[in-house]
Amino acid sequence: MAEVGEIIEGCRLPVLRRNQDNEDEWPLAEILSVKDISGRKLFYVHYIDFNKRLDEWVTHERLDLKKIQFPKKEAKTPTKNGLPGSRPGSPEREVKRKVDVVSPATPVPSETAPASVFPQNGSARRAVAAQPGRKRKSNCLGTDEDSQDSSDGIPSAPRMTGSLVSDRSHDDIVTRMKNIECIELGRHRLKPWYFSPYPQELTTLPVLYLCEFCLKYGRSLKCLQRHLTKCDLRHPPGNEIYRKGTISFFEIDGRKNKSYSQNLCLLAKCFLDHKTLYYDTDPFLFYVMTEYDSKGFHIVGYFSKEKESTEDYNVACILTLPPYQRRGYGKLLIEFSYELSKVEGKTGTPEKPLSDLGLLSYRSYWSQTILEILMGLKSESGERPQITINEISEITSIKKEDVISTLQYLNLINYYKGQYILTLSEDIVDGHERAMLKRLLRIDSKCLHFTPKDWSKRGKW
């Protein structure tokens, strides 16, 4: 049993967390930061194997101090200078590798009691810790790895194309932790998921106030009020290129409308882990989806897109704002992005890495789109309907690789009698039909007024 005062960064211990079903759980978590607010200690915890967005500040009451594991002396703890500590989202990988290196065959009895929730992780960690003789070796390897990591990520500037960075450059303790507590945007109060580089003096505010239309940030409600007397925007400051019902899409040029683009990016960064705001927004177009009501065109979500992509990306970042999530808007955004690609006559794919939600959304969209086509195929003159992957790709503008991966994921593709066939099981068909019933929001290509520009001919973006 450890004292609260002993808890330092790098400690691991079960932390009380309420799950979606309102049940209490004690997942293993790592202490990333400790702060003292008027004598009361708060601990920033990352739940191991949970996404970073669930990281939070907790009081010591939620910590199971009985099962605390202290970091090794030499263990990498998150440091201010951005050197990687144990990495949220990746402890599994890190630990496993170490165990493999150190003692693949001889598990060492642990000194402390095994952790209850994630025994593998816990024991693995201790296996390393309890081996003084081999510690050095593992540590050496560890530092090698780390130095590599840090050289990969932090010091050098990220690539200039694209809008996402891989996880490596996020090992900085600052960017690993949420810095904005709450954002007020229109009717909504959003709890950010990730770090966002809003001006640092604003990060201490309990609420950051954003203008719903121009997304400008203010430090107080009064500021927002004052701002609204000066800001007469009631829609994103771009050209409307799609409108059907209440749904509209606005196209914003990241070069021509910098302040809006930057504000949008700052907001989006709160919910996109891998998004980088390192460089300016010039090479991007932003497609903002809005929902109209009598107050104006309210932002629902957006996606950004490189004006010229070298890798067939038709989406850079894509986000449905949390209040609108799980209502089909995400799929609408995706569908819209492919509509644009269809107009351009290209196939496209979202920029990588995908987030977990991104992967699910895209998979879902791909599955539904492809199944829609497959099931729509009618047999001609008694022949069995058939289609090539290229045809699917052309029809949908979904990149060939994504088509294949979807077919694989759905387990539709099989090798039968010397050839590949697509099999639509009743299971699949039923599932698809049920899903399509729920998918009410669709893009109507007739409502799209969009002429793609050839950005390469315009000089620089």
Site for another protein in 43-102 (CB under 8 A): 49-51, 53-54, 82, 87, 89-90, 92-93
Order of strands across the sheet that contains 40-47: 12-14, 28-37, 40-47, 56-58
CB of 133 to another protein, least distance (A): 29
Nearer to another protein, 7 or 403 (CB): 403
Tell me the window of 36-44, 69-77, 138-146, 226-234 that interacts with another protein (CB under 8 A): 226-234
For another protein, the binding residue among 217, 286, 302, 338 (CB under 8 A) is 217
For another protein, the binding residue among 431, 439, 441, 445 (CB under 8 A) is 431
CB of 282 to another protein, least distance (A): 7
Residues 343-402, interacting with another protein (CB under 8 A): 350, 352-360, 364, 374, 377, 384-390, 393, 400-402
What gap in Å lies between CA 212 and CA 129, rounded to an integer?
A: 51
Burial class (CB in 10 A: 0-12, 13-18, 19+), 167: middle
User: Any bridge partners for residue 41, and if so which?
Assistant: 36
Q: Is 351 a catalytic residue?
A: yes
Compute CA distances 136 → 71, 102, 210, 450, 458, whole Å. Answer: 15, 10, 51, 61, 58
Nearer to another protein, 395 or 428 (CB): 428
What gap in Å lies between CA 170 and CA 80, rounded to an integer?
A: 13
For another protein, the binding residue among 41, 60, 243, 439 (CB under 8 A) is 243
For another protein, the binding residue among 37, 132, 415, 440 (CB under 8 A) is 415
* Among 274, 236, 228, 271, CA closest to 256: 236
Structural tokens at position 147: 């130095």
CB of 427 to another protein, least distance (A): 6
CB of 347 to another protein, least distance (A): 11
41 part of the interface to another protein, by CB under 8 A? no
453 part of the interface to another protein, by CB under 8 A? no
For another protein, the binding residue among 75, 103, 134, 292 (CB under 8 A) is 292
| Phi, psi values for residue 35, rounded to 5° | -135, 160
Nearer to another protein, 78 or 89 (CB): 89
Residues 6+ apart with CB under 8 A from 139: 74
For another protein, the binding residue among 107, 414, 442, 453 (CB under 8 A) is 414
Nearer to another protein, 143 or 388 (CB): 388
Nearer to another protein, 7 or 305 (CB): 305
| DSSP annotation string for 74-142 | T-----TT----SPTT-HHHHHHHHHHHH-SS-PPPPSSPPPSS-HHHHHHHHHHHT-HHHHHHHHHHH
237 part of the interface to another protein, by CB under 8 A? yes
Nearer to another protein, 41 or 97 (CB): 97
In angstroms and rounded to an integer, the radius of gyration of the C-alpha atoms of the chain is 25
What gap in Å lies between CA 142 and CA 168, rounded to an integer?
A: 15
Considering the candidates 56, 306, 339, 351, report the single residue annotated as catalytic.
Answer: 351
CB of 417 to another protein, least distance (A): 8
| Phi, psi values for residue 289, rounded to 5° | -90, 130
What gap in Å lies between CA 209 and CA 212, rounded to an integer?
A: 9
Residues 143-202, interacting with another protein (CB under 8 A): 154-155, 157, 160-161, 166-167, 172, 174-175, 184, 186-193, 195, 197-202
445 part of the interface to another protein, by CB under 8 A? no
458 part of the interface to another protein, by CB under 8 A? no
What gap in Å lies between CA 453 and CA 304, rounded to an integer?
A: 15
Catalytic residues: 351
